[in-house]
Amino acid sequence: MMLVFSIALPAMAADGGISKAACELLRLPGCTTEAGNGTSTIQKDRFSSLLKALLEYLGRRPEKPAPVDPSPKPVDPTPVDPDPVCPDPVCPDPVCPDPVCPDPVCPDPVCPDPGCPNPVDPDPVDPDPVDPDPVDPDPVDPSPSVPSSYEQRVVELVNQERARNGLGALTMNNKLSDVARLKSEDMRKNGYFSHTSPTYGSPFDMMRQFGISYRSAGENIARGQRTPEEVVQAWMDSPGHRANILGASYTQIGVGYLASGNYWTQMFIG
């Protein structure tokens, strides 16, 4: 910012001397004025040097400051490379925890829901059994009996399944039904559920003991089903039993049902 100011100096005398007004302005010692006579006295040398200094001061202009570089000079300190200190390695003693052996957990056994139907034991099928001359030192001839309504209903349901598969109906053989009934009674009496009887042996041995001849034979057994519909459906859901019911080589069937324990036996011959 430039400061501008002005001072009005009194005019000098025309004869080249310093006027009275200059003395009044500067008020210098030794400078006196005499009114009215137009004359003045002053120490001229001293006044001249003061006036010159004043004029130089008034005419001076501000100098431009020397440029300053605002960016600081980088200081590169002398790098200090201390001697590296390598601590001694610490090797802790290995700690081996004691092995933990959990106690074995044995899950509780799972018992099937008693409401589930009893399993159906698939029977062995003898498609072409060899029938030697029967040797029965003490043959047993069961007394003839009339098939029950449940046994007859089983035969009806079996023939319906065969008809759906393009097979001929089976004829109910009363003598074969008696043998099948003895098998159901034997299972209940001796407490087993198997095709092999502790009393009569295999189904084929049992048939021969009672004089049943055949070229092909098979057997289905079941336990726990309460109706003919239930037991036939269970047999049809089992591949092995289904194969007996739909056996193309069979022509006759015997059914034995024992209400006590709901034991069922089917015997097929052809």
In three-state secondary structure terms, 189 is helix
In three-state secondary structure terms, 64 is coil
Distance CA(110)–CA(130), nearest Å, equals 44
**What's the pLDDT tens digit per position in 191-224?**
999 999 999 999 999 999 999 999 999 999 999 9
How high is the pLDDT of residue 28?
Answer: 46
CATH node for 125-132+140-269:
3.40.33.10
**What's the pLDDT tens digit per position in 3-30?**
333 334 444 444 444 445 444 444 544 4
**What's the pLDDT tens digit per position in 94-141?**
444 444 444 433 343 333 343 434 444 444 443 333 343 333 434 444
Every domain of the chain and the residues it spans: 1-60, 125-132+140-269
How high is the pLDDT of residue 177?
Answer: 97
DSSP state, 240?
H
Can you give the pTM of this predicted structure? Answer: 0.50
Distance CA(146)–CA(211), nearest Å, equals 19
Residues in the chain: 270
| Residue 190 pLDDT greater than 50, yes or no | yes
Residue bearing tokens 């002053």: 42
Mean pLDDT across the stretch 73-84? 49
Residue 176 in contact with residue 267, Cβ under 8 Å? Answer: yes
Average pLDDT in the chain: 70
| Residue 167 pLDDT greater than 80, yes or no | yes
Residue bearing tokens 């001076």: 60
DSSP of the chain? --------PPPPPTTSSPPHHHHHHH--TT-EE-TTT--EE--HHHHHHHHHHHHHHHH--PPPPPP---SPPP--PPP--PPP--PPP--PPP--PPP--PPP--PPPPPPPTTSPPPP-PPPEESS---PPP--SS---PPP-PPPHHHHHHHHHHHHHHHHTT-PPPEE-HHHHHHHHHHHHHHHHHT--SSSBTTTBSHHHHHHHTT---SSEEEEEEES--SHHHHHHHHHTSHHHHHHHT-TT--EEEEEEETTTTEEEEEEE-
